[in-house]
Amino acid sequence: MQDNLGEIRPARNHQEQEEALFLMIQENDQDIKRQEVEKIFASVQNGQLDLKHLLVATKRQKILATRLMVAQEDKTAILWPAAVDEETESFQSLDSIQDALLEQSILLAKKEGCVQIQTTVEQNDSITSALYERNGIPAIGELYFMQRPASPECYDEKPCAAASESLKLAPLSQEISDEFLGELVLKTYIDSADFPELQHDRTAARSLQTHRLQGEYNPEHWFVIEQNKSAAGVLFFSWHPDLKQWELTYLGIIPEHRGKGTAGKAIEQSFEHPSRKNSSVFLGVDSRNHYAIRLYESLGFIVVSRQTVHVLQFG
C-alpha cells in the first residue's frame, strides 16, 4: 500500500524488524531496549511469536511508524501498541499514518481468517482509544490487572482457610478429555460477568485454545475443581518466565455451584502448591465483575493497572 502517506507494508528483513521493534519498545535506556528486542526475537525463534504482520510506514527509506498484529491459533488477532518516530509529525499527519496502519492490520486479520481483533489501552489514554473507535474497534469494558505479592501470609486478618475434604483440585490427566474440559468451560461462561460480550460465539475447542495461549501451558497447573466428587468448575494457571510470575489465567464456576465459597477455597488450596506458595500471581478481571474483585481482594490481590478493552468482531 503506497500513497501520499508513504508506503505501508510488512517489515522486509531482520534489520527492518529490529528497527521497528526498537521503535516500539518504550524504554529510554538503550541497553534495556536492546535486551527487550532480543527477547522478542528469541520468542520468534521458539515459535511463540510471529512477526509476519509487523507493519511499517516508511518514507524515503525511513520508518515513520510501526504496528504489530498477531493472528493467534484461536482465531483472535491481537494488536500491539503502535509506535511513532519522534520526527514523524514533520513528515505527515500523525493521525493519518496511525489510521493507515490500523486499517491495514484489520484487513490482514480478516485475510488470516480471524473472528475478532482486540487490544487494550491504558485507562487514561483517550487519544489511542479515539483512534480505535474511529476505525471501528469499539471499547467494550475495562480490565483490571490485579497482583498478589509473593508472601506466605494470610490476608484480611482472617485465619487461613482449612483444607476442605469435599473440595479437590484435579490436575489435567489423560483421564480428562479436551471434550469434557471444553464443555465444562462453556458451562462456566453461563451468566458470567467477565466480558459476556465475548462469550456468545465461543466453541469449546476455541475456548481451550485461548486459555492455552496465555503464558507457558502446563497441564499439571490446570485443574478441574471437584466438589463432593462432582465437577464444579476450572482453575487454570500459566507460568511467565520473562516476568517470573504465575498468571491465574482463568477461574470459572458452573452456575449450580456458585455462591457456596467454592472459588475462594479452590484458589486458597492452589496457593499451597510449592511453586506458588511464595510466588507472585497476577490476573485480569472485568471491572464489572464486582463479586470476583471482592474475592480476589480478600485473598491479597490488589489492582495494579486499569485498561480499556477494544474489540471488533468480524462477520
The pLDDT of residue 173: 79
30-45 vs 14-24: helix crossing angle, rounded to 10: 130
What global pTM score does this model have? 0.88
pLDDT tens across the length of the chain (315 residues): 555 557 899 999 999 999 999 999 988 889 999 999 999 999 999 888 999 999 999 988 889 999 999 999 999 999 999 999 877 655 557 888 999 999 999 999 999 999 999 999 999 999 999 999 999 999 999 999 999 998 645 454 444 444 566 899 999 976 789 999 999 999 999 999 999 888 777 889 999 999 999 999 999 999 999 999 899 999 999 999 888 999 999 999 999 999 999 999 999 999 998 888 788 999 999 999 999 999 999 999 999 999 999 999 997
The pLDDT of residue 273: 87
In angstroms, the CA 38 to CA 300 distance is: 34
C-alpha grid cell for residue 196? Answer: 459476556
Cα distances (Å, whole numbers) of residue 203 to 114, 175, 200, 206, 284: 14, 21, 9, 5, 21
Instruction: Report whether 65 contacts 88 (CB < 8 A).
Output: yes
Max Cα distance, the chain (Å): 69
In angstroms, the CA 281 to CA 147 distance is: 6
Domains, the chain, in order of start with CATH, read 2-114 (3.40.630.30), 146-309 (3.40.630.30)
The pLDDT of residue 81: 92
The pLDDT of residue 1: 53
C-alpha grid cell for residue 92? Answer: 505527515
Tell me the CA end-to-end span of the chain in Å, nearest whole number: 24
The pLDDT of residue 315: 74
Identity of the residue numbered 303: V
Instruction: Report whether 121 contacts 132 (CB < 8 A).
Output: yes
